[in-house]
Structure 1
Amino acid sequence: MSETPLLTATGLHKSFGDNHVLRGIDLEVRRGQVVALIGPSGSGKTTLLRSLNGLAWPDAGTLTFDGGPVLDLAARAGLRGRAARAARAEADAARDRSAMVFQQHNLFPHRTVLQNVTEGPVQVQGEPRADAEARALALLDRVGLADKRHAYPRELSGGQQQRVGIVRALALRPDLLLFDEPTSSLDPELVGEVLGVMKELADEGWTMVVVTHELEFARAVADEVLFLDGGVVVEQGAPATMFTAPREERTRRFLHRLLHPLD
């Protein structure tokens, strides 16, 4: 794992109307690191993830990818003309460094598995279709879905759809993989097949930020765990510390409820 941060986020704030969702989040992710984001519903986890991907640019704070330009997110709003275009280009370049795996799969229902996977590389990145399809087939094969390349999403199980979603993200060759509760919409018996693929990616050294309620996965795979509540990072640390001896009472209550739901 590299000690040089791939991504540095400082002082991120995001509001939706009167709802102040992120309240000054700091986050650093190094190459090869797996960071798990845990916390109750409404704590800001998904908004933070979408902020890192540019799907919901924060109102304030800074983002830096791999030592590149510092994106001052508050300053972008006041820029005009050439300066605004330059800032937008920098933001787009930063966004293209990552790829998101969504909670609800978000596959195009009218396109086959192969078409879903090659859409981004061909249409967005300009990769020749033959090259994109060859790489897509190799990726589908590694998750056991090469035989489903001509199937449509409706013909797949939830676990298969989510594995296609992971392959679609990998096909973009991102520096950073972002997972938003990737197993929360799956039947319990399908969760393991998705977590298995994610663990393999972690073992291969992919850099990942994962919003998850699967605490055993976070304990086994993550290098660092952040507990969010009320739009702030309440506590962060290595899984061994976070899950056995958390410092904050709020963290202890949250973990106890998830680990001992009948108490």
Structure 2
Amino acid sequence: MSPDSIAPPQPTGENVLEVSGLAKSFGGTRVLRAVDLTLRPGRVVCLIGPSGSGKTTVLRSLNGLETPDGGMLQAPAADLDIDFSRPLADATRNRLRDLSAMVFQQHNLFPHLTVLQNVIEGPVRVQRRPRAEVIDEARALLARVGLEARSDAYPAQLSGGQQQRVGIVRALALKPTLLLFDEPTSALDPELVGDVLSVMKDLADEGWTMVVVTHELAFARDVADEVLFLDDGVVLERGAPDRIFTAPREERTRRFLERLMRPF
């Protein structure tokens, strides 16, 4: 990526975010049970595990898209100290949302807006930043991911991989402290996956703080600083990727990894 890219924020303090005892139920179904997560500046944490294990709910809780039933969240840089067992004020929720930007599975681009318009929508309308400045930054970001020539195209005119790269640029344009990725390659054709993962690896190399939900185990092994294996709403195992992927301590982790790594 080009040297004039948006640099990752450098938050003060030891941790960007610290979550303890995160719990969430939908109706009578317990989705998260006392999940703990600590994010240090410039670190990449990958969440792996079977479908329904609570990975996406963790991300949505960090971004304020879901409100947990219990647990604590602290983010010193945003002056946040949240007890989720108490009602969450709108102003607090908005500060939590401002802390991070989410890249979704299904791109979620506005179909009636061009690529450039999709990227500048949040910074201009929500953050109230100068339009000309935002456009210049958006064009530079699109150039980073090889899409400078598609700024006037509409989402329907792009491949799935191109749409997902626009989704990443849209997140970066908000200048968040934390980037959240919810299985960003799961909806892509196999030949398009590499381009998206390459962009994400570059962001990690630049020092962005990231939480990534993924089934791309090779990416997690190469890029993550820490891997968390979730099952049935709990973090069953956590550790450095080399240890998790070569010598998991839990039988459930081992069976999950074996199933994903089988050639057929």
Post-superposition shift, 1:3?
Answer: 7.8
Does residue 155 of structure 2 align to residue 144 of structure 1? no
Which position in structure 1 is the counterpart of 2:63? 53
Cα distance in 2, alignment partners of residues 57 and 177 from structure 1? 19
Aligned pair count reads 253
Partner residue in 1 for 2:5: none
2:217 alignment partner in structure 1: 215
In 2, Cα distance between the equivalents of 1:88 and 1:209? 24
* CA shift for structure 1 position 261: 5.0
Residues 193-224 of structure 1: per-residue CA shift (max 9 Å, x gap): 00000000000000000000000000000000
Shift of 1:90: 2.2
Aligned match of 1:126: 128
Aligned with 2:119: secondary structure? helix
- In the TM superposition, residue 153 of structure 1 has moved relative to its aligned partner by 0.1
- 1:176 match: 178
Please tell me whether the aligned partners of residues 120 and 172 of structure 1 are also in contact (alpha carbons under 8 angstroms). yes
* Corresponding residue of 1:84: none
Q: Distance in 2 between matches of 1:94 and 1:32?
A: 19
Query: How far did 1:69 drift?
Result: 3.1
Runs of 4+ in 1 over 4 A off after TM superposition: none
Matching of residues 76-95 of structure 1 within 5 Å: 76=87, 87-95=89-97
The normalised TM-score by structure 2 is 0.93
**What are the within-5 Å matches in structure 2 for residues 27-38 of structure 1?**
27-38=37-48
Q: Is the 8 A contact 1:224 1:237 kept in 2?
A: yes
Q: Which residue of 1 aligns with 2:260?
A: 258
Please tell me whether the aligned partners of residues 120 and 135 of structure 2 are also in contact (alpha carbons under 8 angstroms): yes
Paired AA for residue 70 in structure 1: D
User: Is 1:63 aligned to residue 65 of structure 2?
Assistant: no
- 1:116 Cα shift? 0.2
Query: Separation in 1 of the partners of 2:74 and 2:98?
Result: 13
2:83 equivalent in structure 1: 72
Q: Distance in 2 between matches of 1:178 and 1:229?
A: 20
Residue identity matched to 2:116: L
Give the percent of matched residue pairs that are identical in Structure 1 and Structure 2: 68
Give the CA RMSD over aligned residues: 1.3
Q: Which runs of 5+ in 1 are unaligned?
A: 78-86
Q: How does 1:11-30 map to 2 (within 5 A)?
A: 11-30=21-40
Q: Residue 75 of structure 1: SS of its match in structure 2? A: coil
1:91: Cα distance to partner? 2.5
Which runs of 5 or more residues in structure 2 are unaligned?
Answer: 1-9
Q: Secondary structure at the match of 1:108?
A: coil
1:159 aligned onto 2:161: yes
1:28 and 1:145 map into 2 onto residues whose CA distance is 34
Which range moves more in the overlay, 61-70 or 214-223?
A: 61-70
